[in-house]
Amino acid sequence: MTREEFTEEIVAARLAKGLTWQELADAIDRPVVWTTAALLGQHPIPAEQAAVLVGMLDLDESAIPVLAAVPMRGGLPTAVPTDPTIYRFYEALQVYGGAIKELIHEQFGDGIMSAINFSVCLEKKPHPAGDRVVVTFDGKFLPYDWTSAAT
């Protein structure tokens, strides 16, 4: 079975067993955003932790090496997401992407926010006018740096 097929099984098994993503993350003691992304096929899951999750979700043992392998990443079914919850982040990029780029350059110089040395955090914060979803993208600044391996 492919990673994609195991991902489908994971999604179904989680619902059937009534497990939350938080419970799955707690079971392997990893951050919940990371764990959810990994279970949705976006990160390798080390064999030891994969074994725990495979047990909780009653998957076949053969899933373990597949979950432990680095997957082909990129989880959106279309280039422009159609799901409203995900689309809002794409929209924010359409509206604020240019400004974020300008300000990274103004404050840090030429370079990028790494999406590899990176973490995402999602919090629920109260506000008099209604709870807020606060999503923090936190990546190391990588300056453009023209370096070569020593020869």
Phi, psi torsion values for 141, nearest 5 degrees: -75, 130
C-beta of 52 vs 90, nearer to its own copies: 90
The Cα 6–Cα 53 span in angstroms is 12
Which are the catalytic amino acids?
A: 88, 91, 114
**Could you tell me the smallest distance in angstroms from the CB atom of residue 126 to its own copies?**
7
For the chain, how big is the Rg over CA atoms in Å? 19
Task: Examine residue 137 and tell whether it contacts its own copies (CB under 8 A).
Answer: yes
DSSP string of 25-55? HHHHT--HHHHHHHHTTSS---HHHHHHHHH
Site size toward its own copies (CB under 8 A) is 103
Contacts to its own copies from residues 63-102, by CB under 8 A: 65-66, 68-70, 72-102
Q: Does 116 bind its own copies (CB under 8 A)?
A: yes
Cβ of residue 25: shortest distance to its own copies, in angstroms?
10
Q: Which is nearer to its own copies, 55 or 101 (CB)?
A: 101
Which residues are within 8 A (CB) of 39 and not within 5 positions of it... i.e. 6 or more apart?
7, 10, 14, 21, 24, 45, 53
Identify residues 30-59 at the interface with its own copies (CB under 8 A): 31-34, 36-37, 40, 42-44
